[in-house]
Structure 1
Amino acid sequence: MRAEIDAAGKKVDPLVTQKIDAYAASVEAKTAALESGLKAANDNLDKLDAVLKRPGVNGGFADDASAKEAKAAFEWHKAMLANDGKLLHDTKIEPDMAAYAEYVAAHSSYIRSRKDNPKIQAALSTGSDPDGGYMVPTTRSARVITKVYETSALRALATVETISGKELIIPRDEGEFGYGWIGETEAPTETTTSQFGESKIAVHEMYAEPRATQQMLEDAGFDVEGWIDRKVGEKFGRVEATAFFTGTGINKPRGLLTYAAGTSNGQIEQVVSGAAAAVTADGVYNLVFSLKDYYTANARFLMKRTTVRDVLKLKDGDGQYMWQMGDIKAGVPATLLGYAVARAEDMPAVEASALAIAFGDFAAAYTIVDRLGITLLRDNLTAKPYVKFYNRRRVGGDVVNFEAVKLQKIAAA
């Protein structure tokens, strides 16, 4: 176009010439800027390629941990620039590994935080695209490694009743009818009548109120709300299981191990093991035969995992192991003197004066009362920016038949 204009000379309108000159200058400037941007982008790609190809500690290349972390830091830094409106075609992206590490470390704390933390929020307030928004670390897995807590299964063995009121009343026959022998011509006299008592089991309330930010619920790399529900349910299960063994009965169930020793109503017989701070074969035999035959048909042992370990070593008078291994796959439980053994981590460990083993018909001995299962009130209004998950559970429990269970007390040193 310039050559044609120069050849035409004065025949071309000066105004047209001026506009063409300005357009040409603009094209030259944009072309130079584009070339500069492409060069910067190529430089960034070369740097990233060099990092990704760098051998890791195990001799790996593009798929080793250091390369993945460098790539994640690069993407994170690019997202920060985009969120701040600083990501242009010629912007150099220099991954800041220290800042990215601080962001990753702050992420877990932010999930659990109940208070505003400027440092954490500053680290987390990075956009996932130019329109803004929150992002989670690109290296965070959707899988959550869960810590395992041991608990007890008394609920599976006891009697469970569901009620609609605040307590359950169970009539209890505490005696027997009188009798007499009489001759053919003798007149009978009045005999005594059995007396009734009653057991009352009140329900008690437990609660949990974890919180999470609305943004974390929306943007976390896994189902935070489902995780909260699952963790609360598991915690409630462990808490009630502990109360069924050691609860005081005040604002919680009354525990199996909290009653005085004895054979009267309101007492549970304690059979001494026979050796200082140890379980013995004789002690286990004495425990089994202290229970009335009526209850032995459904009786079983309850003990802690470490107590099982100690009992496994016991031998009878002929040198034979008392413990008989079961078949878990076939559903056959291990037995001790012919009775099934259930593990209960809320039972005490073997030590002086501990009530380390329980034996009995637990369906007859202990009753659990359910008034209300776990209910959830999800509140996203009263504690903004947090969402409150208010969980409730109403449950009770108590011993109702004191002769249906016996306890092995480890002898004092």
Structure 2
Amino acid sequence: MIQRIKELRQRQETIAEEARERLNQINDNTDEARAAELETAHDTAMAEYDRLEKQIQREERQLEIEKSAEERRARNRPTGDDTETRGAGGDDPTPEYREVFSRVICGTAIVDLTPEERNVLKTGAARFENRAQTTGSNAAGGYTVPTELHGEIIKVMKMWGPMYDEDVATVMNTASGNPIQVPTVDDTDNEADPHTEGEELPDDGSGDVEFGQKLLNAYVYNTPFVRWSFELDTDGIANMESFLGFLIGERLGRIANRQLTIGTGTNAPNGILTASGQGLIAAAAGSLKFDEIMELEHSVDPAYRTSPKVRYMFNDNTLLAIRKLKDGDGNYLWQKGDVQAGIPANFNGRKYSINQAMPDIGAGAKPMLFGDFSRYFVRKVGAPVVGVMRERFWPDMGIAGLIRFDGELGDVNAVKHLKMKAS
């Protein structure tokens, strides 16, 4: 499968090069019919590029699932000292927490467990209390989800939402949900004064620093219950763990990314788009120009443009619309990366993040952000909580997720948006 992914990446590189060659053939002397033909061929090629990207993501995800399943099987295989296979008689090894947990949610009563299994369940619940399913009694589902499921949730959330990714924003992890005050200061208008020999330094309060603050709360969001049958669970617990981890992770990731992007700040996070300053208003309602993108970039102070986390942000439709834009030297703003060297694609020489919660290009919309995203603070409270119910859906099972987070832009000058003309 690794070779397959490598081949797909190489095909992407070839497609991008061919698409570039088609656009390079368009100049002032190209007739309209030929230009339209070349543009259509370019768009078709880039659609295939995007299709391959989605296929690569599926292949990589499947590879992770298979690797995780093989690791579980390896842990459960009999050792060379075993004289009989597990469950076939003899002294069985100590059961794993995951196995006992699976038996409980599939209908086995606590009293029917062996003393050793009950001890494993109790010990596991104590070790992973931060991932407890409920705060009710153990018999009602108060034990914790195995750590494999928790790990899958985190990975999927990063895939679905750049705003929840610590490589994009500044992430603050806290154990409790108490409000946090983040100090802010704007000292950009102050500077030192000339000094005259023999004069005392001023002590009139004119040099005092004025501090402000941003408040980070802990807003709670949940997924609906996902139900699955007793038969499906007993047929393959490893596959169900992976499947449910991805499914719940996607739902939690979508709401986290959307709120951290367009949250109103009223009983919700102050999303990066909502909190951002205005860079400029485009001249048209449905299209962008290179000059406008440069104006957006330079509306952000140079002090922020040197940050390691400075970047553009827009959705995939906006990226498609601006792939044909060129700079003043005739170079395309979008440049493909080097897969072999680990260099990602860039836009106008900068990193960019695809965020599907960003609006499309349209009248009055704000389809593009640029700035230092390290100044946006994402507060995560603990780990996502997963709850499993068996009595409620018996003989089937149900599982749901909860997540607590908040977000706030520490400095409105650090990230600016480009707004389209109203009409």
Range class of TM-score, shorter chain: 0.5 to 0.7
Instruction: In structure 2, give the amino acid aligned to 1:307.
Output: T
In the alignment, structure 1 residue 289 sits paired with structure 2 residue 301: no
- The aligned counterpart of 1:389 is 399
Measure the CA separation in 1 of the matches of 2:323 and 2:343.
17
- The aligned counterpart of 2:277 is 268
Measure the CA separation in 2 of the matches of 1:188 and 1:309.
58
SS in 2 for 1:257: helix
- The aligned counterpart of 1:158 is 169
- The aligned counterpart of 1:303 is 314
* 1:124-181: CA deviation from partner (whole Å, max 9, x where unpaired): xxxxxxxxxxxxxxxxxxxxxxxxxx94412230011111232322111133667544
SS in 1 for 2:398: strand
* 1:318-362: CA deviation from partner (whole Å, max 9, x where unpaired): 444333332234221223332122221111111122111111111
The 8 Å contact of residues 233 and 374 in structure 1, kept in 2 or not, is answered as no
- The aligned counterpart of 1:168 is 180
- The aligned counterpart of 2:124 is none
Shift of 1:232: 0.5
In the alignment, structure 1 residue 227 sits paired with structure 2 residue 243: yes
The 8 Å contact of residues 204 and 251 in structure 1, kept in 2 or not, is answered as yes
Measure the CA separation in 2 of the matches of 1:318 and 1:174.
37
Instruction: In structure 2, give the amino acid aligned to 1:173.
Output: V
Runs of 4+ in 1 over 6 A off after TM superposition: none
- The aligned counterpart of 2:347 is 336
Measure the CA separation in 1 of the matches of 2:356 and 2:410.
22
Instruction: In structure 2, give the amino acid aligned to 1:207.
Output: N
From 310, 319, 334, the equivalent of 1:323 is 334
- Unaligned runs of 5+ residues in structure 1 are 1-149, 260-266
Shift of 1:397: 1.3
Shift of 1:258: 1.7
The 8 Å contact of residues 378 and 407 in structure 2, kept in 1 or not, is answered as yes
Shift of 1:185: 4.2
In the alignment, structure 1 residue 347 sits paired with structure 2 residue 376: no
The 8 Å contact of residues 367 and 400 in structure 1, kept in 2 or not, is answered as yes
Q: Write out aligned runs for 1:135-154 (5 A).
A: 151-154=160-163
Measure the CA separation in 1 of the matches of 2:281 and 2:168.
24
In the alignment, structure 1 residue 405 sits paired with structure 2 residue 421: no
- Between stretches 218-227 and 366-375, larger displacement belongs to 218-227
- The aligned counterpart of 1:377 is 387
From 164, 185, 199, the equivalent of 2:214 is 199
Measure the CA separation in 1 of the matches of 2:194 and 2:226.
69
Measure the CA separation in 2 of the matches of 1:335 and 1:229.
31
SS in 1 for 2:404: strand
The 8 Å contact of residues 252 and 401 in structure 2, kept in 1 or not, is answered as no
- The aligned counterpart of 1:237 is 253
Measure the CA separation in 2 of the matches of 1:237 and 1:315.
34
Shift of 1:288: 1.1
- Unaligned runs of 5+ residues in structure 2 are 1-158
Shift of 1:401: 1.9
The 8 Å contact of residues 171 and 198 in structure 1, kept in 2 or not, is answered as yes
Shift of 1:369: 0.9
In the alignment, structure 1 residue 183 sits paired with structure 2 residue 228: no
Q: Whose RCO is larger (CA < 8 A, sep 6+)?
A: 2
- The aligned counterpart of 2:51 is none
Structure ID, larger Rg = 1
Gap change, CA 1:187 and 1:277, over 3 Å in 2: same
Shift of 1:310: 1.9
Measure the CA separation in 2 of the matches of 1:250 and 1:211.
33
Measure the CA separation in 2 of the matches of 1:216 and 1:334.
42
The 8 Å contact of residues 151 and 346 in structure 1, kept in 2 or not, is answered as no
SS in 1 for 2:403: strand
**Identity over aligned residues, as a percent?**
25
Measure the CA separation in 2 of the matches of 1:296 and 1:342.
16
SS in 2 for 1:398: strand
Instruction: Give the length in aligned residue pairs.
Output: 257
* 1:85-113: CA deviation from partner (whole Å, max 9, x where unpaired): xxxxxxxxxxxxxxxxxxxxxxxxxxxxx
- The aligned counterpart of 1:12 is none
Measure the CA separation in 2 of the matches of 1:318 and 1:223.
53
SS in 2 for 1:368: strand
The 8 Å contact of residues 356 and 408 in structure 1, kept in 2 or not, is answered as yes
Measure the CA separation in 2 of the matches of 1:376 and 1:306.
34
Shift of 1:235: 1.3
What is the alpha-carbon root mean square deviation over aligned residues? 2.6
In the alignment, structure 1 residue 312 sits paired with structure 2 residue 347: no
Shift of 1:385: 2.9
Measure the CA separation in 1 of the matches of 2:248 and 2:219.
17
Q: Write out aligned runs for 1:16-55 (5 A).
A: none
Instruction: In structure 1, give the amino acid aligned to 2:295.
Output: N
